[in-house]
Structure 1
Amino acid sequence: MASYAYRPTKKFKKTLLGGGALVLLLGLNAPAAVSFAQETYHAYKISQPGYKRQYGSWALLDVPPEYRTNAIHAALLHTGKVLLIAGSGNNQKKFDAGSFDTVLWNPADNTFKKIPTPEDFFCSGHSQLPDGRLLVAGGTARYEVLDGGIRRAGGGMRVKNENPDRSYTFKKGTRFRSPSGVEYVSTADVTVPRAKKQIQAGYGKGDRMQPWRTKVTAGEARVFVEAVKEGPQALTTQAAQYEILGLKGKDAANLYGLAQKLTTEKQDFQGIRSAYEFDPTAEKYIRVDPMKEARWYPTLVGLEDGKVLAVSGLDDVGAVLTGDNEVYDPKTKKWSKGPTRYFPTYPALFLTKGGKLFYSGSNAGYGPADKGRKPGLWDLSKNTFTGIDGLIDGDQTETSASLMLAPVQRQRVMLLGGGGVGESSKSTSRTAIIDLSEESPAFREGPRLPQGTRYLSSVLLPDDTVFTTGGSSDYRGRSASDILRAQFYDPATNSFRRAADPTVGRNYHSEALLLPDGRVATFGSDPLFDDADNTKLGTFEQRIEIYTPPYLQGDRASDGNRPALGEGPRRTDPHGRATFRTAHPDRITKARLMRPSAVTHTTDVEQRSIELKLTRTKDTVTIETPKDRTLVPAGWYMLFVTDKEGTPSEAKWLLVE
């Protein structure tokens, strides 16, 4: 083969040299000139077809200004559209104004639509339902107030009701008076259930049975209260009973408040109980029954029977829930009590074969460093938890990424990166993999990331690799610590390989998900600061950047070379099968069902890739899904087929019932 030397095009020479202008610039500002030349050459290099075929390419999406939003949550719907939920978007002014945002993006034609948003879904939880609707539950009732910014003492008030005959609702603004005469006002409506009556028998003198008697257990609800007036007289660290103003007679005796302490210490975000289903066809939110507990930063995980378990979160007074979990039934639209277990907020929980949930240790923050951090398997039916060992840097699982590797039948979970608890500057390059099919599963160290990384986005691809991108080496991108790198993890070789570098930094409040055409879209990022010196307050990143992998570059992406599925059903038959016409069935080597993502705070417990049985004729392929619902929960999936090189088709949407 003849050798040749690379020669820049005339256009590139002109750009790089500037007709002699660069010589003058070098004399005036050599570092700036060198930087300009390097950036120009890099831009040229990454635009070359050979580079794209090896590393892929990035492109910024042109989003009209009126549709740019603070994407806190992203979910792919079975219509192929992406729901971007901001709520108040971590913006106190928008929260105070009651201005909440949701934007629906259609990647097929890059059109956008604003969706009326009834409540503040900022930092809610979400899960795909069997019929394709998206359950959204929880959100923000109140923004945090830091130490030094609190002028009125406040805290949680437990409102008691000793009347067994009726419940009571107290509107926002209800006043409570302390024994010393200090008044506090509620910041939200609160409904207190009626007391419970229990008939029981007892023994008296001579061990003789007493007549039947009734025991009354007071109903209780929580609400946050603040002192009416500023000043130290409202501070208290002593437990006390509070009178509810405006009540008379028996109501005044039966209803009262209890508080442990009311201070000017830091007050955390507070959650809401509200729950909604987003209907992808009608493109609107539909209210369903609220949760029993208010939740901010909860995880919602789908179960094998189609129900959804809501876990953890900050409650309506800003405290981490102590283990009060609950289950949503999409058939009745109601919630019921779930198994009790404590986790820090946004725990990464995965449905495993057999129905247990695996907790990888990944989480997104709130909670003590010594509680609920250990990975393990949670048996919901028995409510037992079996801890799992072997995780290196086990104190740095906060803001880490976790996912079930493809295919799900192999039951392997990977954890990537992470950092120390809270605002720690610690970050780790550790990855770890666990095989849950083993008799005694334990974590094994995987290949290292290029550097310590928090907030890493990790996305399953149709060729069974994992695409990881972004993140930062410090808490919320402090000190300009965003990592503009991306890579692929190949489970077949247990190694990373480079991908093209993104141009947009992504840290806290960022997301990434797989699109039906095989590309990856990235959203969001909420840095504390915009400069390396940490002096300029951060700006929320509203740009959307899309990655096109190597498998969609060059000849592999052309219509004639890319596998394609033709006419076929929209749902599987009673045996879990579906047949599609195709011009070249012999070229199709693998088929995968891929569950659409619903991701926030690097937490995406929805995505999973399922290996399918393939049968071919001269002009059709038939796929067959596993019958085990712990592997394939009912719902809508993207069906991808790939050739021997891993080039995927565009997805067909398929409903598994």
Structure 2
Amino acid sequence: MPVSRRPAQRTKKTLLGGAAVVVLAGLNAPAALTFAEDRYHSYKIDRPAYKAEYGSWARVVIPEKFRTNAIHAALLRTGKVLIVAGSGNDEEHFDAGTFDTVLWDPEAGTFKKIDTPEDFFCGGHAALPDGRLLIAGGTARYEVLDDKVRHAGGGMRVKNENPDKPLTLRKGTVFRSPDGVEYTSRFDVTVPKAKRAFEVDYFESGAMKPLKTKVTASEQRVFVEAVKDGPQSVTTESAQYRIRGLKGKAADNAYGLAEKITMDRQDFQGIRAAYEFDPVAEKYVPVGPMKEARWYPTLVGLEDGRVLAVSGLDDIGEILNGANEIYDAKTKKWSKGPFRYFPTYPALFLTKGGKLFYPGANAGYGPADKGRVPGLWDPGKNTFTAAGGLTDTDELETAASLMLPPVQDQKVMVLGGGGVGESRKSTARTAIVDLAKDSPVFERGPDLPQGTRYLNSVLMPDDTVFTTGGSRDYRGRGASNILKAQFYDPATNAFTPAADPTVGRNYHSEALLLPDGRVATFGSDSLYGDRANTRLGTFEQRMEVYTPPALHRSKAVRPVIGKGPESVARGGSATYAVEGSERIAAARLMRPSAVTHTTDVEQRSIELGLKKTAGKVTVTVPKDRTLVPPGWYMLFLTDARGTPSEAKWVKVG
């Protein structure tokens, strides 16, 4: 079903008055007409009746020193929003080591700079059970395009055969090939001690033979570049490289191995670093690094509170071939996860039973014919069952996706998307899959107003989905930003229009639900700044907040959640003081968002059992931890007209 259009504009004569009409008639200039139309539009959207039907937008006033390139946005259990830029897709910031994080308090309207120890640009993030935010991966090096590559480069596998101590090589270490060509490392690298094993044999009599020692070299990889520019340093031959500066046994125990060093495009490279952001102390705290470097990874919380890191570009700019790993917040360390390949920033949703559903939506890197099939992944058994029925399967990159509310319905929706890479293709297709069925397949949903990439989609307390922004073309090319917003209602399977945003949002943009029931939008990184694609774009640093219609209705009285517990056990109940409790129609636990690159696998809305007594409301949390993973949630109460309360933060153990 197509999106319904807004009511036709009433005659402007009523607004402008007779004198204004006479002036327009005499001007004979298109600019004057545009000015009048803009004035009329401003008048129309500012009317109470319009806001009560479509909602409204307002810009956030940001002091200049706090304006940043919002690459990531996450709502913390304090109600503040962590806006992470890292180097912000600005290579000059990267080269200068200028990494940025801003903490925004929507309630107080204040901002705070946070010391940022790594370039978290294009890393991953997920909420932990105690309310901290895990951030892992980011940028080790910016890309170098084909026509800019001057020095041949590639991966060098550094071997250490010394079982007694690790080997640390600093950035700039020189590796020399058998024919004298030299390459320098771009990063520090530490290679663990070699593994020592003892072999024991026995005589026929049962006596033990003397012990033998077997040493297995350890290995770590580092990106290297040729010292001299030009193609003469290109090699596709496997060879062993000596390490300059090492002598004697050290030189015998350590060496490099490389199989391919080329003049090809050099992609972004990831980092292994991981941190927890403490929302109370408001600082980053280092934890154990990942085994794999990752750039563009997805981090998804599991039912036991651990976090699975999936995909990403590695330390030499190649997409990881399926090496995933799991973080345990108790030990602050990573362990090996189930092996499966995905393109970068894949959308993965925790479903009933603990499986992860992949709708095919992703944001970025990987071949068009690998890892693109939607389906249900069982990480425990490492099995994958494909889900059919989806159309426009070649247009799932930069698609939005989410678990429809409430999560008990086990329905996943995918919205829009485009072709792989810099494709001009985009689709208006939406589709929904019901995972509660024995053999789930996608069914077509209502179309978006037009083909849309980078659409931001946000779950609302009244079980609708608010969608906004995006662009028709790759990174808003050709001035193709879409200044539209709409609500999707799962109950009617239809879209209804919302007020138009005034700021375009495409690549590197985010949207998330605030505790007061509004939606905040951030960022946008247009490739070009004009329709003809002749002027480079600039990063959009303005923020805009949407207030939904229910909060504009003149007779709306918001439910207020009073005193009650701050934590509740899974399967348990909690009672809260609520004036006018008889008006309450629904209760939802809503997990806070952590969003980047159109990918938000954190948000979910959980239906709660509801019992009303005079001046009190008792809610019951489902027992199934695959529906309610441990962590902090926003508790919303909504009346029969869809008017939500402000959220109360509740911890589910």
Asked if Structure 1 and Structure 2 have the same fold, meaning a TM-score greater than 0.5 normalized by the shorter chain, the answer is: yes
Paired residues for 1:641-652 under 5 Å: 641-652=637-648
Task: For 1:439 and 1:263, locate their aligned partners in 2 and report how far apart those are by CA, in whole Å.
Answer: 49
**Alignment partner, residue 306 of structure 1:** 305
Give secondary structure in 1 for the equivalent of 2:70: coil
Q: For the Cα contact (< 8 Å) 1:347–1:359, is it kept in 2?
A: yes
Q: Residues 274 and 556 from structure 1, CA distance in 2 versus in 1: closer, same or farther, beyond 3 angstroms?
A: farther
Give secondary structure in 2 for the equivalent of 1:164: coil
**Alignment partner, residue 572 of structure 1:** 568
**Alignment partner, residue 599 of structure 1:** 595
Q: Deviations over 1:87-137 (max 9, x none)?
A: 000000000000011011111021111111111000010000000000011
Task: For 1:229 and 1:77, locate their aligned partners in 2 and report how far apart those are by CA, in whole Å.
Answer: 49
Task: For 1:617 and 1:161, locate their aligned partners in 2 and report how far apart those are by CA, in whole Å.
Answer: 70
Paired residues for 1:220-239 under 5 Å: 220-239=219-238
Paired residues for 1:379-528 under 5 Å: 379-528=378-527
- Give, as a single letter, the amino acid of the residue that structure 1 aligns with 2:24: L
Q: Residues 17 and 196 from structure 1, CA distance in 2 versus in 1: closer, same or farther, beyond 3 angstroms?
A: farther
Deviation at 1:234, TM superposition (A): 1.5
Q: For the Cα contact (< 8 Å) 1:172–1:187, is it kept in 2?
A: yes
**Alignment partner, residue 649 of structure 2:** 653
- Give, as a single letter, the amino acid of the residue that structure 1 aligns with 2:461: P
Q: For the Cα contact (< 8 Å) 2:12–2:40, is it kept in 1?
A: no
Task: For 1:175 and 1:509, locate their aligned partners in 2 and report how far apart those are by CA, in whole Å.
Answer: 37
Task: For 2:232 and 2:10, locate their aligned partners in 1 and report how far apart those are by CA, in whole Å.
Answer: 79
Give secondary structure in 1 for the equivalent of 2:599: coil
Task: For 1:7 and 1:321, locate their aligned partners in 2 and report how far apart those are by CA, in whole Å.
Answer: 59
**Alignment partner, residue 535 of structure 1:** 534
**Alignment partner, residue 620 of structure 2:** 624
Give secondary structure in 2 for the equivalent of 1:251: helix
Task: For 2:544 and 2:329, locate their aligned partners in 1 and report how far apart those are by CA, in whole Å.
Answer: 34
Paired residues for 1:210-229 under 5 Å: 213-229=212-228
**Alignment partner, residue 177 of structure 2:** 178
Q: For the Cα contact (< 8 Å) 1:576–1:627, is it kept in 2?
A: yes
Task: For 2:22 and 2:201, locate their aligned partners in 1 and report how far apart those are by CA, in whole Å.
Answer: 103
- Give, as a single letter, the amino acid of the residue that structure 1 aligns with 2:297: P
Deviation at 1:240, TM superposition (A): 1.7
**Alignment partner, residue 256 of structure 2:** 257
Task: For 2:197 and 2:417, locate their aligned partners in 1 and report how far apart those are by CA, in whole Å.
Answer: 50
Deviation at 1:196, TM superposition (A): 2.4
Task: For 2:375 and 2:213, locate their aligned partners in 1 and report how far apart those are by CA, in whole Å.
Answer: 44
- Give, as a single letter, the amino acid of the residue that structure 2 aligns with 1:593: L
Q: Residues 574 and 407 from structure 1, CA distance in 2 versus in 1: closer, same or farther, beyond 3 angstroms?
A: closer
Task: For 2:293 and 2:131, locate their aligned partners in 1 and report how far apart those are by CA, in whole Å.
Answer: 25
Give secondary structure in 1 for the equivalent of 2:285: strand
Q: For the Cα contact (< 8 Å) 1:141–1:271, is it kept in 2?
A: yes
Q: Deviations over 1:575-598 (max 9, x none)?
A: 522111011111001000000000
**Alignment partner, residue 563 of structure 1:** 559
Give secondary structure in 2 for the equivalent of 1:39: helix
Task: For 2:453 and 2:379, locate their aligned partners in 1 and report how far apart those are by CA, in whole Å.
Answer: 30
- Give, as a single letter, the amino acid of the residue that structure 2 aligns with 1:460: L
**Alignment partner, residue 136 of structure 2:** 137
Q: Deviations over 1:10-36 (max 9, x none)?
A: 9x537x95585434422xx2x222222
Where do 5+ consecutive residues of structure 2 fail to align?
Answer: 1-8
- Give, as a single letter, the amino acid of the residue that structure 2 aligns with 1:22: L
Q: For the Cα contact (< 8 Å) 2:368–2:420, is it kept in 1?
A: yes
Q: Residues 388 and 191 from structure 1, CA distance in 2 versus in 1: closer, same or farther, beyond 3 angstroms?
A: same
Aligned length: 641
Q: Residues 202 and 420 from structure 1, CA distance in 2 versus in 1: closer, same or farther, beyond 3 angstroms?
A: farther
Deviation at 1:151, TM superposition (A): 1.4
Give secondary structure in 1 for the equivalent of 2:101: strand
Deviation at 1:150, TM superposition (A): 1.5
Q: For the Cα contact (< 8 Å) 1:88–1:101, is it kept in 2?
A: yes
Task: For 1:386 and 1:38, locate their aligned partners in 2 and report how far apart those are by CA, in whole Å.
Answer: 53
Deviation at 1:554, TM superposition (A): 2.5
Q: For the Cα contact (< 8 Å) 1:520–1:548, is it kept in 2?
A: yes
Task: For 2:503 and 2:414, locate their aligned partners in 1 and report how far apart those are by CA, in whole Å.
Answer: 23
Task: For 2:277 and 2:570, locate their aligned partners in 1 and report how far apart those are by CA, in whole Å.
Answer: 27
Deviation at 1:390, TM superposition (A): 1.0
Deviation at 1:226, TM superposition (A): 1.0
Deviation at 1:215, TM superposition (A): 4.2
Alignment match of 2:27 (pick from 25, 28, 31): 25
Paired residues for 1:147-186 under 5 Å: 147-186=146-185
**Alignment partner, residue 336 of structure 2:** 337
**Alignment partner, residue 5 of structure 2:** none
- Give, as a single letter, the amino acid of the residue that structure 2 aligns with 1:618: A
Give secondary structure in 2 for the equivalent of 1:181: coil
**Alignment partner, residue 4 of structure 2:** none
Alignment match of 1:13 (pick from 16, 19, 27): 16
Q: For the Cα contact (< 8 Å) 2:57–2:544, is it kept in 1?
A: yes
Task: For 1:7 and 1:436, locate their aligned partners in 2 and report how far apart those are by CA, in whole Å.
Answer: 49
Task: For 2:199 and 2:183, locate their aligned partners in 1 and report how far apart those are by CA, in whole Å.
Answer: 38
Q: Deviations over 1:472-503 (max 9, x none)?
A: 11100000111111111100011111111111
Paired residues for 1:7-156 under 5 Å: 13=16, 18=20, 21-26=23-28, 29=29, 31-156=30-155
**Alignment partner, residue 581 of structure 1:** 577
**Alignment partner, residue 345 of structure 2:** 346
Q: Residues 574 and 44 from structure 1, CA distance in 2 versus in 1: closer, same or farther, beyond 3 angstroms?
A: closer
Deviation at 1:200, TM superposition (A): 5.1
Give secondary structure in 2 for the equivalent of 1:313: coil
Q: For the Cα contact (< 8 Å) 1:195–1:217, is it kept in 2?
A: yes
Task: For 2:515 and 2:570, locate their aligned partners in 1 and report how far apart those are by CA, in whole Å.
Answer: 25
- Give, as a single letter, the amino acid of the residue that structure 2 aligns with 1:624: T
Deviation at 1:354, TM superposition (A): 0.7
Deviation at 1:164, TM superposition (A): 2.5
Task: For 1:477 and 1:518, locate their aligned partners in 2 and report how far apart those are by CA, in whole Å.
Answer: 29
TM-score (norm 2): 0.95
- Give, as a single letter, the amino acid of the residue that structure 2 aligns with 1:156: G
Deviation at 1:655, TM superposition (A): 0.7
Q: Residues 202 and 479 from structure 1, CA distance in 2 versus in 1: closer, same or farther, beyond 3 angstroms?
A: farther
Alpha-carbon RMSD across the aligned residues, in angstroms, is 2.0
**Alignment partner, residue 6 of structure 2:** none
**Alignment partner, residue 320 of structure 1:** 319
Deviation at 1:571, TM superposition (A): 1.0
Task: For 2:50 and 2:193, locate their aligned partners in 1 and report how far apart those are by CA, in whole Å.
Answer: 68
Q: For the Cα contact (< 8 Å) 1:556–1:647, is it kept in 2?
A: no
- Give, as a single letter, the amino acid of the residue that structure 2 aligns with 1:568: G
Deviation at 1:574, TM superposition (A): 7.1
**Alignment partner, residue 3 of structure 2:** none
Matched, 1:367 2:331: no
Give secondary structure in 1 for the equivalent of 2:568: coil
Matched, 1:295 2:294: yes
Q: For the Cα contact (< 8 Å) 1:576–1:656, is it kept in 2?
A: no
Deviation at 1:443, TM superposition (A): 0.8
Deviation at 1:281, TM superposition (A): 0.6
Q: Deviations over 1:297-318 (max 9, x none)?
A: 0000001111000111011111
Q: For the Cα contact (< 8 Å) 1:556–1:562, is it kept in 2?
A: no
- Give, as a single letter, the amino acid of the residue that structure 2 aligns with 1:650: E
Task: For 2:250 and 2:157, locate their aligned partners in 1 and report how far apart those are by CA, in whole Å.
Answer: 16
TM-score (norm 1): 0.95
Deviation at 1:160, TM superposition (A): 1.1
- Give, as a single letter, the amino acid of the residue that structure 1 aligns with 2:16: K
Q: Residues 556 and 391 from structure 1, CA distance in 2 versus in 1: closer, same or farther, beyond 3 angstroms?
A: farther
Structure 1 stretch displaced more, 159-168 or 412-421 = 159-168
Q: For the Cα contact (< 8 Å) 1:377–1:385, is it kept in 2?
A: yes
Task: For 2:570 and 2:367, locate their aligned partners in 1 and report how far apart those are by CA, in whole Å.
Answer: 48
- Give, as a single letter, the amino acid of the residue that structure 1 aligns with 2:403: M
- Give, as a single letter, the amino acid of the residue that structure 1 aligns with 2:84: I
- Give, as a single letter, the amino acid of the residue that structure 1 aligns with 2:49: G
Q: For the Cα contact (< 8 Å) 1:70–1:540, is it kept in 2?
A: yes
Task: For 1:394 and 1:553, locate their aligned partners in 2 and report how far apart those are by CA, in whole Å.
Answer: 39
Task: For 1:202 and 1:484, locate their aligned partners in 2 and report how far apart those are by CA, in whole Å.
Answer: 75
Q: Residues 202 and 297 from structure 1, CA distance in 2 versus in 1: closer, same or farther, beyond 3 angstroms?
A: farther
